[in-house]
Structure 1
């Protein structure tokens, strides 16, 4: 590996671990067994990729936060209105009662750990009483919300309503999207590499959606990279946060880091001409 300013490498390696950076230089090697690098492989490029990835995580975390908040709100609204304040404990609206017990146990543990004022006040003012959905689900993790949605009975009208409000005609497709987005969100929360990494969960590509975000159906191999899932995130934001600047922020990021290859994230050559990505 080459260095433009070798003294700066010491600084970076004292503050960013070797094995964290290794993921960004892995594909610079012509021989991954003997660790021989391609010509013109500079340490400074590794830092460029690392910094791009750090900012990319922030852009996507912003996007996923909007999806999480909207999902929480819609679950509370639709289920409470129809099935009452303790809807999340109503076994009649869930497909698998044992799974729902497990989800509720996880939710209770999240509530116990939470220090929000409205949770503390409930414990004092309503001692021993379960929390209403608008309190309990407000502190649920994205993973718990996703599992709760998936376990709703398929014939429940509210399940389809929520999916439609995110732009999905099929609750099965929407649930699959939520699972994949949860995995992505958890990776981001643990500062995992995005730029040249794989999506570790297989998910469905939605059928018959109102406005196809891209003009083709990505293969399973293509869905192992970020581009298709990022596309679906932008698609859902059109319905729940139509004035968001997520796409603008991503384009600004590319402008700031022009040497970062987008194909490592699964972006095809013509990605800027795809409907959702038109600028």
Structure 2
């Protein structure tokens, strides 16, 4: 039986972690990066350094891409389209769902098949248990290469639409960045009051567990219910104002909390003041012109 093989294009921290995981699993690995010396450590571990993207594509059927964005995807592969025929492109590059759909169409036009991926863990967790990546695109392509992809992370197939993996990925990134920025605001306020991040940690962890709220809100959203009760938007807006005033009083930047407070007040102005927090989705679905 021939040795399992894969090409990895793009050797930032994520690409390097993926190539290393494949090498550790016994794969024949060919790598390419615009800055060639980023491959040095991988070559020392047994990878083959390709001189050009075309050479990297020609080396193996399965090609994993880890690039900055889809503009980089075209910049790298555009000059090497003659080498795309028959290749399977597993594009783990982050960008918009629409760009993923366009890239899949572009790849098909050059005889390649495109599988979109959204990696849910940072580079140090590649190859570790519990890690996960969303995939979407042709199911037969996903199933044919699933075992190889699972060398990197668990593989969560979301459907044939090439954009779906990025829909899930970007949705979770919106949640992630909002949460992490909220934590830094909270930590900054603690520091201004002489409280260390370590002392604050157990309280932050408790507040970060929003599973109850996501469960309840999900039921309300799917039922298109926005009952108010104690969580009326008018009260939420007042609470958001209190956060802004507290941060400003402490001399901290309040740009993001101000934007949130303005969003809450827009919901009140739009007539949702007596409705619950989930009514805010009506404002998010109809952004200000």
Under TM normalisation by the shorter chain, which class is it?
A: under 0.3
Larger helix percent: 1
TM-score (norm 1): 0.24
Q: Greater relative contact order (Cα 8 A, min sep 6): structure 1 or 2?
A: 1
- The TM-score normalised by the length of structure 2 is 0.24
Write 1 or 2 for the structure with the bigger share of strand.
2
